[in-house]
Amino acid sequence: MKKKKALNTYYIAVPREYDQFLALILVRDKNNKDIVPVRIQDNSVQAQYNATIYKVDLTHYVESNQEEQLIITETYFNRMSALPKKITIFEDQNVEIYDNPHFFSPYPTEKSQTTYKLASSPIFYTEEDATAKGGNIEYGPYRNDGAFTRSKIRLHFENTRPFPVFKNVTRVIEVSHWGNIAIEDFYKLANEGAELTGEYNKVDFNKYTQHTGKNSLKNLKAKLPYNSWGVYYKDEVGNISTSRAFRDSASNSVDMTIEPRFALLGGWKSNFYIGYNLPAKYTLFVEKADPTNYYLRQNSGLIFKGIMAEEFTIKVILPEGATEINYQFPFPLNEVSEEKSFSYFDFEGRPTFVFKIKNVVDYHDQTFTVNYKFSQNSIIREPLM
């Protein structure tokens, strides 16, 4: 890309029909820093080109006639849909996806090329400008596209894997200055693959075989922090006995495998809780100069990798008596609110911050900090009662 004068802003366009499925855009410039672009509310452009524009502020200025390499990562969800929509337990799941193979941009593009990596050789693909090599399909190269060039291709291919999605995740982090941080996650899990139609066929479908119900969700793998202890897995009706966890020093985590109460066939749902405790010494820090100033550092991502959460709520419950509360998140939040929660022997209530994030993906697996002031003396108040 060649520019006439020094500038540090760049605009990204996303086709409007796909914008609603966009979970995240990240831009990485030569300083190797991830930048989250800001969406621009410009209705005229949107209407004219049927596009949504995002603005990126680069970390430095690019002089005219200089080249700058940007890596743009766009993460979408729900773009693939099962076709046929409903399958029996004996059938394999096929999916289709529509896309624009051109580099969609508000600027003219000299050359662009798109490669689609599919789970299997396609059943159908739009053949115009395409070269297929097994599961990889290349479109282009396209030369000298004007701004906002687009076309539509369709891919239809077999993907027998389940499509797990968390419709909602609520994490409650309860800080105790007696040395423990209790964390409980509530998950609303759904398998959004092709829906099951017809009989369940217990004789043919077994949780432990692969021949039928291939798109069923049988287990999930989670990684908990290395120091977590007292892990539990339950739901609204009690304990679920099908889970395993072990401390893995190689990956520095507690690896947990859970099986839902029943294998989730396409279109089925299940809710569950996972809770664990963390010793406070690894996540709650106190400032040396000012011993009343505390920093709570916690992970802001899901413990399940590769599964998106449509809504993620983090509730941080600080001890009663915490004041001057601040928080820093490495990414923008959708909503923040404050409330009081009551636990054992609380009378004024514990200050509670509720952070809401939409469309949480692996990128959100970062660390956030909550900073507050708390007098060490007030922790002995409750035991005294």
Residues at the site binding another protein, with contacts judged by CB under 8 A: 198-203, 207, 235-241, 261-262, 268-271, 342-347
Dist CA 150 CA 283 (whole Å): 48
Least distance from C-beta 159 to another protein, angstroms? 23
Least distance from C-beta 235 to another protein, angstroms? 7
Least distance from C-beta 188 to another protein, angstroms? 9
Dist CA 181 CA 28 (whole Å): 35
Least distance from C-beta 318 to another protein, angstroms? 17
Output DSSP code: residue 41: -
Token pair 């396609």 is found at: 122
CB 275 within 8 A of CB 328: no
Between the alpha carbon of residue 287 and those of residues 221, 290, 299, 325, 373, the distances in Å are 36, 5, 20, 15, 10
Least distance from C-beta 344 to another protein, angstroms? 6
Least distance from C-beta 361 to another protein, angstroms? 25
Q: What is the CA radius of gyration of the chain?
A: 25
Q: What length does the chain have? A: 385
Instruction: Compare residues 185 and 320 and give the one whose CB is closer to another protein.
Output: 320
Instruction: Compare residues 271 and 369 and give the one whose CB is closer to another protein.
Output: 271
Instruction: Compare residues 181 and 240 and give the one whose CB is closer to another protein.
Output: 240
Instruction: Compare residues 239 and 377 and give the one whose CB is closer to another protein.
Output: 239
Least distance from C-beta 238 to another protein, angstroms? 5
Instruction: Compare residues 56 and 264 and give the one whose CB is closer to another protein.
Output: 264
Asked if residue 101 has a cis previous peptide bond (ω within 30° of 0), the answer is: no
> Dihedrals φ, ψ of 342, to 5°?
-120, 130
Q: Which residues contact 311 (CB under 8 A, 6 or more apart)?
A: 167, 168, 169, 356, 357, 358
Instruction: Compare residues 238 and 332 and give the one whose CB is closer to another protein.
Output: 238
Burial class (CB in 10 A: 0-12, 13-18, 19+), 319: buried
Instruction: Compare residues 176 and 201 and give the one whose CB is closer to another protein.
Output: 201
> 3-state DSSP helix/strand/coil percent for the chain, to nearest 5?
5, 50, 40
